[in-house]
Amino acid sequence: MEEAFRLVEQLAIEGDETIYLSVSHDAAAEMTVKRSKFICNLRRIGDRSQFDSFMQEITSLHPKANHHCWAYIVRNPSKQEHFSDAGEPSGTAGRPILGALKQSSLENVAAIVSRYFGGIKLGVKGLIDAYGDCARLAISLADTAPFSPHSLVRFSVSYDLYNSLLQTMSKFNIPGKPVNMEFAELISGEILVPDSLLGALKDKMDEIIPPKYRHSIMISKTEDRETAR
């Protein structure tokens, strides 16, 4: 996590604020406090609907849990933070979980802590510590990585323009190569482009591609992807 955090921090210093830190895979942790069992599940999400699907999955996985407390942070369309105590005393569960996410500088991430009550009341401080500690334990076990918004650029160009297009992509250090290639009357394919490079790349493509071919350049949003540096 430290290496990924340093990369995100360096990119922010350089002015690229599209890069953020998140979990690269689902993660989970379990702990017991005075016979109450706490289970935290982490997942990278992009919006509320993905969180709702995650919650449905966890409640189905732990149908007998007494509480499913949660917090999540998403970036789009603007940064949003939400949390719930899910029946625990106000301020004892959701906010500590959210605090653990924020302390780790994670975004586009959700944490759900399921509690099986063990018969012994923990008190306000005990609950705050238990929910926060369980979330932090899951975060410490999670694989994290830098992510950034990407768009899928689809193109169909003549053979003589294809090399110019490849050279342009190379100059902009676009990671990866075109895929799903088709060689017919025109050369067609698609490539993932970080949104931070998209504007400048499109301007350059408008320079090298004649107007009659510009309608064949289509850009659509896709899922955020891990970012290498």
Indicate the residue among 129, 146, 163 that finishes a domain: 146
Its domain, for residue 167, covers 149-226
**pTM recorded for the entire structure:** 0.79
Number of domains in the chain: 2
CATH code of the domain in which 178 resides: 3.30.70.240
Quick: pLDDT tens for 21-68: 999 999 999 999 999 999 999 999 999 999 999 999 999 999 999 999
Question: What's the CATH code of the domain at 93?
Answer: 3.30.230.30
Please say which residue of 102, 128, 146 terminates a domain. 146
**42-48 long-range CB contacts below 8 Å, 24 or more apart?**
42/109, 42/110, 42/111, 42/138, 42/139, 42/142, 43/109, 43/110, 44/108, 44/109, 44/147, 45/72, 45/74, 45/108, 45/109, 45/110, 46/74, 46/76, 46/108, 46/223, 46/224, 47/74, 47/76, 48/74
Q: Which of 98, 128, 146 is the last residue before a domain boundary?
A: 146
Percentage of the chain beyond pLDDT 90 is 56
Residue 97 shares a structural domain with residue 200? no
Residues 95 and 155 in one domain: no
- Whether 23 and 126 map to the same domain: the answer is yes
